[in-house]
A and B are shown apart, each in its own frame.
Chain A
């Protein structure tokens, strides 16, 4: 019984609890969105297109260089924080939060 290898595969159709399934979907959406930003900042701006971004200046250094050495780290902190907050919201929505 081999199932297709897709995102939807990750939640089984025979799932006992439909609530748990949509919780998981919401979780995947948040994670997917944040990791897209993560990829663009780390690999897009800082590596693949660094020369193009370096033509824009921030202070005395190129923007690509700045993102590669500092900016990306600030973004990473933001992403982890947004994730924790967003998951709190989702937890509350699905009445799964440990505070509820």
Chain B
């Protein structure tokens, strides 16, 4: 390879040394904590020996919950969904209320290791346990898939490599941290990761809020400034809908369904539920829920402000920017599959960040009228082939919504260390969630399935080893979905929530609040809910998940059932699950007396 000739493309990224330093320091910190609290026994591996204080558990729950989707994906999704971005904001926080009020205290009282444990015992059925374990694995793998893409994005941008290699590096790092830890290591590491991710999210948000509105608190800048009005006006000019206009991205029915799917899914997520097994008693479970939602709310009330500011700032910087086409080769002499442009903003600043993102392929510019300027105005474009539909788009050929948060500090011209901080925050968010999820995959495979049915006499060491092997299996499957994602990070994650809503929420909820629910009802309900939701999501995304076999999805958006998007189908699956469980339970014999007593005991705190 010849690196001798310095090419025009090789603009040195000033954030790079900072990124390496921050990533290095944070990884050493996580490793140190993981090593300090390392475990060798099963209880420590799965539930941290039940000795975690409420506030620490709250922070860990918040980190567990706020994944790459919250950190990297959500503000970007909101940025491009405007008012309808509320589905993610309310969906991922409102579900927490359900979890705290309807499930957490009772599951803590029940006090076993995993969600399949609860379902297996409450429904006095090994079949129920197996079905639950399989559901837990499917949900978690989908969810980790979204995280892998998030981690991949961070590496792709900061190492300036292809997204797929970014995902593979991410898999290796996530695997390393998860195999090492177990729940106890994870809990304390996640407390640290919460600290990292919240600082990393708030610093650029406060900076951009101060810059655009003069108000350092983004939540206040969001309502008190005139940015929303300015953005509405600019978007109208460009031929788009107003930012604050409701139902411009989703129909009212879809906003309703997606919000509900995310809420009930949140309450049914196995890796979040398992968190409440790690506190000392029922009261601590309630207060750790308070801490967790408080910690979550800090990020979730900032994200809509960041989304709005970022959208405005992006348009201000790009609309009317001068562009110049560059040599189409990379440093290694390969030809790029699309043209690259160097950009200069309307007020004459060179936009190096746009160059760097173009190289990852996540930002593409398409000078439709060859006037050397980018226009973000929507226009009708003649289709490339006569068979494809006429498109309406701007000269920003492609902007991957997932890059909004990562690029905001650069777009806003913030110092390089802030840019590095955001990269580290994104990694912290993805790592903390991925490790929690991998633990669920591991416990479902090893604890609920393998040890129970194949090797009931396995020693503690063997169980922990099997758990670790299961983690590696989980990473490989999730990595595939990271490379062939069915959607943006936030969308992939919302599929996982839909699956959780359709399978777990009714089973756990009815298990506590409806004594008459029996095993036949619960098993049929979970299967119906899971299968319906899973099939619908897969059929709507076949072209993205299996690009080698499909060129278009089996169910295209024009043929969605009642117009319900695959992100919202979990609500339908959940209603089916409820109906089936209740009807089947009432037509089959009631649960035995011991189960009635078990429910009574779960309902009282001591």
Q: Which residues of B contact A2 (CB under 8 A)?
A: 516, 586, 590
A35 to B96, CA, bound (A): 12
Asked whether B228 lies within 8 Å of A35 as measured between CB atoms, the reply is no
Q: Which of B223, B260, B281: most chain A CB closer than 10 A? A: B223
Asked whether A81 lies within 8 Å of B290 as measured between CB atoms, the reply is yes
A46 to B252, CA, bound (A): 11
Q: Which residues of B contact A87 (CB under 8 A)?
A: 105, 283, 286
Asked if B536 is an interface residue, CB under 8 A from chain A, the answer is no
Interface of A is mostly: helix
B457 to chain A, nearest CB (A): 36
Task: Mark interface residues in A19-56 (1 if CB within 8 Å of B CB, else 0).
Answer: 01001100100010011001000110011101100100
User: Which of the residues B223, B246, B606 comes within 8 Å of A96, measured between beta carbons?
Assistant: B606
- B residues 552-606 touching A (CB-CB < 8 Å): 582, 586, 590, 596, 600, 603-606
- B residues 39-74 touching A (CB-CB < 8 Å): none
Interface of B is mostly: helix
**Do A61 and B222 form a contact, CB below 8 Å, given A9-B516, A51-B246, A76-B97?**
yes
A24 to B601, CA, bound (A): 11
Q: Which of B101, B286, B586: most chain A CB closer than 10 A? A: B101
Q: Which residues of B contact A72 (CB under 8 A)?
A: 86, 89-90, 93-94
- B residues 187-243 touching A (CB-CB < 8 Å): 219, 222-229
A82 to chain B, nearest CB (A): 9
**Do A73 and B93 form a contact, CB below 8 Å, given A54-B246, A84-B290, A97-B283?**
yes
Task: Mark interface residues in A67-100 (1 if CB within 8 Å of B CB, else 0).
Answer: 0111011101101110110011001000011110
Asked whether A61 lies within 8 Å of B223 as measured between CB atoms, the reply is yes
A16 to B600, CA, bound (A): 10
Q: Which residues of B contact A83 (CB under 8 A)?
A: 100-101, 286
Asked if B500 is an interface residue, CB under 8 A from chain A, the answer is no
Asked whether B301 lies within 8 Å of A74 as measured between CB atoms, the reply is yes
User: Which of the residues B228, B259, B301, B515 comes within 8 Å of A73, measured between beta carbons?
Assistant: B301
Asked if B297 is an interface residue, CB under 8 A from chain A, the answer is yes
Asked whether A70 lies within 8 Å of B281 as measured between CB atoms, the reply is no
A16 to B601, CA, bound (A): 11
**Do A68 and B86 form a contact, CB below 8 Å, given A61-B223, A84-B289, A91-B605?**
yes
Asked if B513 is an interface residue, CB under 8 A from chain A, the answer is yes
Please give the number of chain B residues whose Cβ is less than 8 angstroms from any Cβ of chain A in the complex. Answer: 58
User: Which of the residues B83, B100, B515, B586 comes within 8 Å of A80, measured between beta carbons?
Assistant: B100
User: Which of the residues B96, B282, B604 comes within 8 Å of A76, measured between beta carbons?
Assistant: B96
User: Which of the residues B83, B102, B281 comes within 8 Å of A65, measured between beta carbons?
Assistant: B83
User: Which of the residues A3, A5, A20, A64 comes within 8 Å of B600, measured between beta carbons?
Assistant: A20
Q: Which residues of A contact B105 (CB under 8 A)?
A: 87
B44 to chain A, nearest CB (A): 23
**Do A88 and B224 form a contact, CB below 8 Å, given A60-B229, A61-B244, A73-B89?**
no
Asked whether B283 lies within 8 Å of A99 as measured between CB atoms, the reply is yes
Tell me the nearest residue of chain A to B86, going by C-beta.
Answer: A68
A76 to chain B, nearest CB (A): 5
A91 to B219, CA, bound (A): 36
Asked if B490 is an interface residue, CB under 8 A from chain A, the answer is no
Task: Mark interface residues in B83-118 (1 if CB within 8 Å of A CB, else 0).
Answer: 101100110011011101110010000000000000
Asked whether B255 lies within 8 Å of A47 as measured between CB atoms, the reply is yes
Tell me the nearest residue of chain B to A19, going by C-beta.
Answer: B604
**Do A59 and B605 form a contact, CB below 8 Å, given A73-B300, A73-B301?**
no
A72 to chain B, nearest CB (A): 5
User: Which of the residues A9, A15, A79 comes within 8 Å of B97, measured between beta carbons?
Assistant: A79
Asked if B256 is an interface residue, CB under 8 A from chain A, the answer is yes
Asked whether A5 lies within 8 Å of B586 as measured between CB atoms, the reply is yes
Asked if B546 is an interface residue, CB under 8 A from chain A, the answer is no
Q: Which residues of B contact A27 (CB under 8 A)?
A: 603
Asked whether B596 lies within 8 Å of A10 as measured between CB atoms, the reply is no
A27 to B513, CA, bound (A): 12
Asked whether B604 lies within 8 Å of A60 as measured between CB atoms, the reply is no
Asked if B32 is an interface residue, CB under 8 A from chain A, the answer is no
Tell me the nearest residue of chain A to B280, going by C-beta.
Answer: A98
A19 to chain B, nearest CB (A): 9
A68 to chain B, nearest CB (A): 4
A34 to chain B, nearest CB (A): 6
Asked whether B90 lies within 8 Å of A46 as measured between CB atoms, the reply is yes
Q: Which residues of A contact B83 (CB under 8 A)?
A: 50, 65, 68-69
Asked whether B281 lies within 8 Å of A61 as measured between CB atoms, the reply is no
A43 to B142, CA, bound (A): 27
A84 to chain B, nearest CB (A): 4
Task: Mark interface residues in B264-275 (1 if CB within 8 Å of A CB, else 0).
Answer: 000000000000
**Do A77 and B294 form a contact, CB below 8 Å, given A5-B582, A62-B244, A96-B605?**
yes
Tell me the nearest residue of chain A to B307, going by C-beta.
Answer: A69
Q: Which residues of A contact B97 (CB under 8 A)?
A: 34-35, 38, 76, 79-80
Asked whether A10 lies within 8 Å of B514 as measured between CB atoms, the reply is yes
A5 to B101, CA, bound (A): 21
A59 to B215, CA, bound (A): 13
Asked if B473 is an interface residue, CB under 8 A from chain A, the answer is no
Given known contacts A46-B86, A77-B293, A96-B605, what 17 new A-B pairs fall within 8 Å (CB)? A1-B590, A3-B516, A47-B256, A54-B244, A68-B89, A69-B89, A70-B304, A72-B90, A73-B89, A74-B297, A80-B97, A80-B289, A81-B294, A84-B287, A97-B283, A97-B605, A98-B282
29 of the cross-chain contacts (CB-CB < 8 Å) are: A2-B516, A3-B516, A9-B515, A15-B600, A27-B603, A34-B101, A35-B97, A35-B101, A38-B98, A42-B263, A59-B224, A60-B227, A61-B223, A64-B246, A68-B89, A69-B78, A69-B89, A70-B223, A72-B90, A72-B94, A77-B293, A80-B101, A80-B289, A83-B101, A84-B100, A84-B283, A91-B283, A91-B605, A99-B283
The 5 A-B pairs of least Cβ separation, nearest first, read A59-B223, A68-B86, A69-B304, A84-B286, A80-B100
